[in-house]
Structure 1
């Protein structure tokens, strides 16, 4: 009787091992397609990814809490920051996940973020409801989602599939149906495990030490209401202006001064007041800019801001245009 009990216990244990969905190790470094290297450290809440674009261009991204080299007492020093750096062109941008931020770009799994917050979790989303296949080979455990996707050629596949080494949490490859350019295709990613355990600091040592002043804060920007208007000669229109996030405090000053200019017809318009001031205290308060047409110009003129201070020096003015007919 005792032997039968232990036999049943052994069978039940093996059944549970087989049926409990494995996840990636919480600390892992692996490589995939396109020279991709991913380092994940759930325990210390940091992650890294790099992959090749058109040679010699390379994309690098980091995300972590308590981002190094942040300005003390800034939002970046208190909340999660995701920083993207594209070399060798040094196109460096970042976003901070807090009440007035987030990041419009994300190089990491989508289930790690919900717009204004970020948490580094397992690489695999456990909410995907993976099913263990009875057709797994003797060397692999095969898991697939219960949701199917159709590719452009008409075949139907599980939207996501994962293969692990038998009875382990060591991933071998991923298969996923994705939108790539204008096509819907099945993408297979063969994984090579580099290390399991705390990722080497070398993956994070490449963070630029001056990123807080040399990289563009993607959250800094203007909001207008309305964003376009028709102004006849000697007539005016009122535009409400406010910021989407507080300006940066630089050398004790968190004020940004903004003027406006029409590049195609600089003397077609006047602005009242000539400049607006925003700080961390009033950045959400709507201020009124009055634009008056004093000269006829093009059918449609584009008016752009000129920024001074508050970390806006790296913001592209043409990203925040006003269109005037």
Structure 2
């Protein structure tokens, strides 16, 4: 039976998805805007369309979110609502200060915190959390940095004898392709997390007999994230596109291509990685080919601090919400 609480949970999930879209729009378009390949308004529309397409590439990540973090039997509408609210709060705080934090880890932390508040630490599926959350949390940014650095070195070596204006002309065109692929990869991973949450809510309410993402859930999450991306999160776009390092089209192409390769691989294996972490470290890896001084370490330090704090802070917020909200 459809209840008012279930409707509220689905509404909160779509609000989170919309915020995720504009909070993480920088992941897809920061480099293409900062290099002036596209205007900001055109870039968010361009990325939003690819985000929608990416959301239809599979449901492996949704299955991990819905079944691989906490014991499904203890999940109630109240647990899911508190998880969503904690992630929404953290996303809005980090967006306000222009810090590119992970919406994925915010949602995961909220789900863990609300689950613990309801039934204790034993509800955490530590094997799944370790293998598909914590290990990728550490390794995926390393892959982003390393692949970005190596790819940029290869490009520099290949184009060493070319005239700078010719290189710039070609990579302005190529960056249109890489920006589209980056948006596609973001949709393939991030949109699925909310799909998993809504499907989990439907299962816990008895409307689904098994965990299988309905088509209407995929469509609603895809469109909502696309609309959120089109709204544009300008504060975070400025941080990633220019405050960390000054980018040219060749750097933008290398960073986006490297990050998209890591994210699409993770999506294929059902690993809910942080697209924010990966594109940020890819930019750092690409930028480091210009020397350590090219990176603005103060900005980088703030970003890393937000990464470290996201899961524990969202666990804490969700725990407090579950204790005090009448759900």
With normalisation by structure 2, the TM-score equals: 0.24
Which protein has the bigger strand share? 1
| Larger Rg computed on CA atoms | 1
Which protein has the bigger helix share? 2
Q: Which has the higher contact order (CA 8 A, sep 6+)?
A: 2
With normalisation by structure 1, the TM-score equals: 0.24
